[in-house]
């Protein structure tokens, strides 16, 4: 069982520097099990730890694993340039924990985005060697045709790629929408593939990563949640299966 001093616990959870966290404790801002703790040197077991800071209860988490339903016009960057960053949709202290997006969605692409401060998890989910399938729903400018679907499945050539890129699966949803499953993560891949196949993408949403679906998470646009053990297992199985 791991035990840490309270100032280290607060710092590890992103609430500021060690000195600032000590000040919070000394001011009586932290309570555990309903009791105010004013000595930052107290060693506290982190397993299952719940603490209250500024009247908000927090659970100690060694790492953060988050799912976000990304809205349009947010950048997947810690240093956004033209639009707000996705970190602005999360509690401020997550930035102190070096939370970052797992891969990227374009600013105008919406849907499921994973975020974490666990480097091993980020690598496992984003490495092309793991072949984690990702499902997208694309809205097209021109009607979806059998020829378009055949091109997406058969492969299209992009000017900066040495080999043709193809969808794992591709199916028509309605006249102007299709569902595309990819295992690669190339720059603007869905949009460029559709353009190479003779159509144009007007809207794009990622609806699933591996077996984890946006529908199952039930997140409103712009909302986020911690991933539970079952959801994490779905992601790990998808990465291993690839």
Catalytic positions, please? 106
Beta strands in the chain (DSSP E): 3-5, 30-32, 35-36, 43-45, 50-53, 56-59, 65-70, 100-101, 109-116, 134-140, 169-174, 177-182, 201-209, 212-213, 224-226
Residue 57's alpha-carbon distances to 20, 40, 183, in angstroms, are 19, 18, 39
Residue 10's alpha-carbon distances to 1, 3, 5, 16, in angstroms, are 18, 13, 9, 7
What's the number of CA atoms in the CB half-sphere (13 Å) around residue 156? 22
Nearest to residue 30, comparing CAs of 60, 57, 67, 3? 57
Q: How far is CA 86 from the centre of its chain?
A: 9
Q: Measured between alpha carbons, how far is 183 from 170 in angstroms, rounded to an integer?
A: 12
Nearest to residue 77, comparing CAs of 66, 68, 87, 62? 87
Classified as helix, coil or strand, 129 is: helix
């Amino acid at each position: 069982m791991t035990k840490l001093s309270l100032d280290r616990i607060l710092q590890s959870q992103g609430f500021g520097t060690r000195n600032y966290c000590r000040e919070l404790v000394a001011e009586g801002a932290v309570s555990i099990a309903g009791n105010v703790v004013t000595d930052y040197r107290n060693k506290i077991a982190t397993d299952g730890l719940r603490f209250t800071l500024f009247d908000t209860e927090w659970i100690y988490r060694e790492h953060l694993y988050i799912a976000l339903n990304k809205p349009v016009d947010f950048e997947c960057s810690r240093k956004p340039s033209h639009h707000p960053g996705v970190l602005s949709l999360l509690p401020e202290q997550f930035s102190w924990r070096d939370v970052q997006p797992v891969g990227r969605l374009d600013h105008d692409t919406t849907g499921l985005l994973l975020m974490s401060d666990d480097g091993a998890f980020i690598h496992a989910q984003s490495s092309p060697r793991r072949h984690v399938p990702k499902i997208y729903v694309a809205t097209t400018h021109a009607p979806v045709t059998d020829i378009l679907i055949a091109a997406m499945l058969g492969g299209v050539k992009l000017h900066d790629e040495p080999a043709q890129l193809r969808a794992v699966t591709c199916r028509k949803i309605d006249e102007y929408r299709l569902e595309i499953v990819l295992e690669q993560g190339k720059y603007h891949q869905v949009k460029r593939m559709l353009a190479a196949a003779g159509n144009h993408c007007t809207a794009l949403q990622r609806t699933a990563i591996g077996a984890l679906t946006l529908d199952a998470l039930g997140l409103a646009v712009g909302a986020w949640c911690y991933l539970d053990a079952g959801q994490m297992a779905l992601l790990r199985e998808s990465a291993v299966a690839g």
